Structure formats: C-alpha cells, structure tokens
Copies of this chain bind each other. A is one copy, B any other.
Amino acid sequence: MPTDIEIAQAAKITPISEIAASAGLQPQEIEPYGYDKAKIKLDPEVKRPTDLGKLILVTSINPTPAGEGKSTVTVGLADALKLAGKNTMIALREPSLGPVMGLKGGATGGGYAQVVPMADINLHFTGDFHALTSAHDTLSAVIDNSLHQGNPLNIDPRRILWKRVVDINDRALRHVTIGLGGPTSGVPREDGFDITVASELMAILTLSTDLMDLKARINRIVVGYTYDKEPVTVADLGVAGALTVLLKDAIKPNLVQTLAHTPAIIHGGPFANIAQGTNSILATKTALQLADYVVTEAGFGADLGGEKFLDVKVPLLGKTPDAIVIVATIRALKHHGGVALGDLNNENIEALSAGLENLGQHLTAMNRYGVPVVVAINRFTADTAQELAVIKDYVAQFGATAYTTEVWAKGGEGATDLAQAVIEKVAQESDFTPLYQANDAATDKLNAIVQTIYGGKTIVLSGKAQKQLKEFEARGWDKLPIIMAKTQYSLSDDAKKLGAPKDFAIHIREFVPKLGAGFLVALTGNIMTMPGLPKHPAALDIDIDEKGQITGLF
C-alpha cells in the first residue's frame, strides 16, 4: 500500500473551478488559490438557498495512540453518500502546522479517503492560520506598545490575559519574560505563547457570521485589566479595524475536494481540547446551503468536540444535526481496555469488552441529545470476526447499530452500509434537546457536562476559579457558554485514566473569559495551550526533491 502522501500526489485533481461549479458556485463567487484550492467569497449580495441540507456530525471515542481515523471516516462517508447519488459536501477544520511538524501529522484523512491537495492543506493552505497569528501578535505588540508609551489605559502588566501565539509546537515559549534590555525595549513583564489554534481570534473567526460580526467580536475581547481591576478591551486599544483587515480573507471558507472529487469546505481550526474544536459557522452554513448532505467533524472525542458542537456551535448555527456518527476502532477500544500498543494485533475479547465502556459512555452522552446515533467501526486488517461481533452486540444495547467501514483501503466504497444507514437516519424526525439552557448558572452547566457527558461525579473549583466566578457574576459574564479545556485521552481530567472511569471529579484550576468568542474557557487538570515537540519530531522525516516531490508528510 502506498503512503498517504504518495496516494495524494498521484491523485488526479479536478480543477477547483469545476468542483465549485459542481457545488453550485458561480465563477465570480470564488477566488482561486492555485488550480486546486479556492476561497468562497462572502459577497453580501450573493443570495443562497434558505433550505438547508441534512447535517451529519462525525465524532469518536476518546482518541488513543492506536488511531481512530475520524477524519478518514468523515471523508469516506461523504464519498459514499456521493456514490449513493446524494448531493454531498464535507465541512472540516484546517490542520495546524504545529502538529504536522510535531507528532500527530495533518488532518486530511488517510489512504483512499483523503482531501487534496494534501500537502498544501497541511502546510500553509490559503494562509488563514498565518493571518490569525499576525492579527493576534499585532494586538500583543499594540498592548506592549501602550505600556511602553506612557500606559494611557492604566493597564496592569501583571494582569494581561492576551498572550502571544505561534503555529508551532514550542514548549520553550510557554513561560517567558519579555521587555528586557532597558528602557528602549519595552516594559519587562511575564508573558507566554499559545499555539495559534488556541487564540481567541481563532474561536472568533470560526463563530462569526460575517465581517462586521467579526469586528464587533474583536472589539469585545478583554485583553487584561487596569490597576483598578477594570477590564481593558480591544475597543479601548482601537485596533479592531486593523485586525479585521488582517482577517478579511481568512474569514472566507476554503474549497477543496476529496480524492473522489466530493467538494470539501475546510475552514477554521480550533483544537477541541482547548477551544470549541469545530470548523467555522460560515463553512458549515455554506455547505448546508449548497448541498443536501453535509458531513462534518468535531475534534477529538464526543466528550470534547462533540459536546461543544452540540452545546456551543448549534445555537449559533441555527441548525441541529440530523445524525451523529461515533467512530471507533477495535485497536483503540482494546487499548482502552488495557492492552499495550505493541499487542493490539492480537485478538483479545476480554480487553475489547472492557474498553467498550468508553464507547458506551459516548453513546449514552450522544443519545441524550435526541439525535439518531450510529457507530462506525473503522476496520483494520487484524480485526477478527469475533471482535466485530462483540462490538456490534454491545452497541445494540444502546439502541444503536455499528457499521464496519473500510474507507482507508477502499474510499467511499468502503462505507456503503454506513452511508445507507445515515440516509435512513437523517430522514427520521429528530428531537434535539440541549444539555443546558443559556441562563443556567455556570456551575450547573459544568456539572451537566461532567455528569452527563463525561460520566463523572462532580466539579472541584480551585480558589482562583471560585473567585473568578464571583467576578464574572459581578460583570454579567457568568451566563456565557462553557468551553472545557481538558485532556482528550480520558473522559476525566487525567490523561492516564482510559476506558470509562467512574466517580471522578473534574478539577477546574482557572477560567479564561473570552468575551469576543462569547464563552468562558475552563482549564481542567494540567491541560496546556502550547504543545511541545517529541524526541523525534516529524519534521526530521520530511523532505522534498528537485522535482518538488514531498516525502514524509502524513
């Protein structure tokens, strides 16, 4: 079997103008980036259909190093729906460069279920993340310049919330001191860098409904506090216009295609463990306007991206999913059941049965939203018939059905059954029930997430977090939706607790108020907003030859 990049580079790519036409977009509605990528213009004069397509949300069990293949199943399912004659589009997030050069690789699917051009999408794509990084760090420079130029806003340098960002895994930038070198080089203070996907601007970009909404949200960002502990906003600094100008193209959704030429919108890239973890409102909405079936993905497990899609994105999108697909692999479930990574190719019914509790918790959680749920088993060659039977029986207890998919090897043809099931499910009436109401208290929202979605017992707030909630109440910020920042590897806040831990508490050490994005981030356990590089970064294996042929990208 060739590698992902080899398959992608050998692909026959249809000119993006033809893909756009097949999706119902006029030539003047797109801006080409090369011949294989385009941005979809946000021309306020373009009138799109008001009847929206069916929305299929793909989520998964808690990820493990064994691999789940959620993006791969998303792409394969869309290609299968297209094979079944349905007018289908995909809405995905853009990959972050940090993990591409680090450990995880890109996020364009795999095997014969990929979006292309794979290398471009995983590298700079159309520059959206770079625009976000520039806008974010321009704001940072403006804040420090304000301190340096006499501090007219009375900003307390010890209480600045707005850190800097780079789209690189760079642990050495987590905690820094800046402004050293004497009076011509700024005011010394503690600072830190996050990865670009953790920027509030990324969250804002993906939640904005148009350019002016983007600007209004940017104006509302709280960058820190004055010495009198009053919030300082971007409106106070006066640079929302400049930041919006920097994001004027980044806000436009990007159009590419799958290997089977299914149109795919890829836009926005918040990580689901530290931000809302789904592609942009504009991307999903545009796809729903253009296609009858839209397959979208939420990052990491159903506890993170899934919950945030349903509780934070859905109210803004104004459209609930018509079906939810939970992706699992037998390998990953066995790992949840205690099998070491080296032994996953051996049949182990006992471990599989234990690990299935992880899938069970996600099934319970997703079932409660009132949307039809199906399970997709992303099949690996070592999976045995008995293992497949065990998982199907288990899933049936939850009133759901598990379908085997082989999209990595076969593309859309490997998901025919899953596509058929999805077509039937989305034709059913669904009765979406939100997890909480906007006016619920923050602690009630937190407990609902922890108990209903994670299967945990309670929340434990640090002293700081308790103090912050009181502050938020006083400021009228306490009714904002909650974004949990939590390890993706466990339902709990301890990455080592695999399977379905019970009776655990979620420890909230701190909240980060994101007034522009319109939510409160709850930092749990020891979650970090800047990853590090591993001992052997992926960058070491990436190369390019004189013909421009790339190797080592995955």
Chain A interface residues toward B at CB < 8 A: 31-35, 39, 44, 97, 101, 119, 123-124, 127, 130-131, 133-134, 137-138, 140-142, 144-145, 147-149, 166-181, 184-187, 210-212, 215, 238-239, 241-242, 244-246, 248-249, 532-533, 535, 537-540, 542-544, 546-548, 550, 552-553
Contacts and interface: CB of A to CB of B under 8 A. Distances in A.
A172 B144 contact: yes
Contacts of A542: 241-242, 245
Given A170-B141, A172-B141, A540 B178 contact: no
Given A245-B123, A543-B245, A148 B172 contact: yes
Q: Is the interface of A mostly helix, strand, loop or mixed?
A: mixed
Nearest to A131: B124
B215 A537 contact: no
A239 to B, nearest CB: 5
24 contacts: A32-B32, A34-B39, A44-B546, A101-B138, A124-B130, A124-B246, A130-B134, A134-B167, A138-B168, A141-B533, A142-B537, A145-B533, A171-B184, A171-B186, A172-B185, A210-B546, A211-B546, A215-B544, A238-B540, A239-B540, A241-B542, A244-B544, A245-B543, A245-B553
A186 B211 contact: no
A553 B130 CA distance: 20
A199 to B, nearest CB: 14
A50 to B, nearest CB: 21
Nearest to A180: B175
A103 to B, nearest CB: 11
Contact of A539 (B169, B239, B548): B239
A528 to B, nearest CB: 9
Contacts of A533: 141-142, 145
Given A34-B31, A546-B44, A172 B149 contact: no
A181 B68 CA distance: 33
A537 B148 CA distance: 13
Given A171-B184, A176-B180, A211-B546, 7 more contacts: A32-B34, A130-B133, A138-B539, A145-B537, A172-B179, A241-B543, A248-B550
A178 B542 CA distance: 27
Contacts of A131: 124, 130
A244 B145 CA distance: 34
B245 A134 contact: no
A185 B171 contact: yes
A533 to B, nearest CB: 4
Contacts of A245: 119, 123, 542-544, 550, 553
B177 A134 contact: no
Given A124-B131, A130-B130, A138-B101, A544 B211 contact: yes
A156 to B, nearest CB: 16
A308 to B, nearest CB: 27
Contact of A185 (B174, B177, B546, B553): B174
A181 B174 contact: yes
A479 B178 CA distance: 37
Closest 10 CB pairs of A and B: A241-B543, A175-B181, A172-B186, A130-B130, A242-B539, A144-B172, A141-B170, A175-B180, A242-B542, A145-B533
Nearest to A538: B242
Contacts of A238: 540
B172 A187 contact: yes
A211 B249 contact: no
Contacts of A134: 97, 124, 130, 167-168
A264 B178 CA distance: 40
A168 B137 CA distance: 7
A166 B31 CA distance: 28
A170 B164 CA distance: 11
A179 B101 CA distance: 20
A463 to B, nearest CB: 21
- Most chain B Cβ neighbours within 10 Å, of A44, A149, A171, A187: A171
- Most chain B Cβ neighbours within 10 Å, of A31, A134, A167: A134
Contacts of A546: 44, 210-212
Contact of A124 (B101, B244, B249): B249
A71 to B, nearest CB: 21
Contact of A548 (B130, B138, B175, B211): B211
Contacts of A540: 238-239, 242
A91 B179 CA distance: 38
A173 B141 CA distance: 9
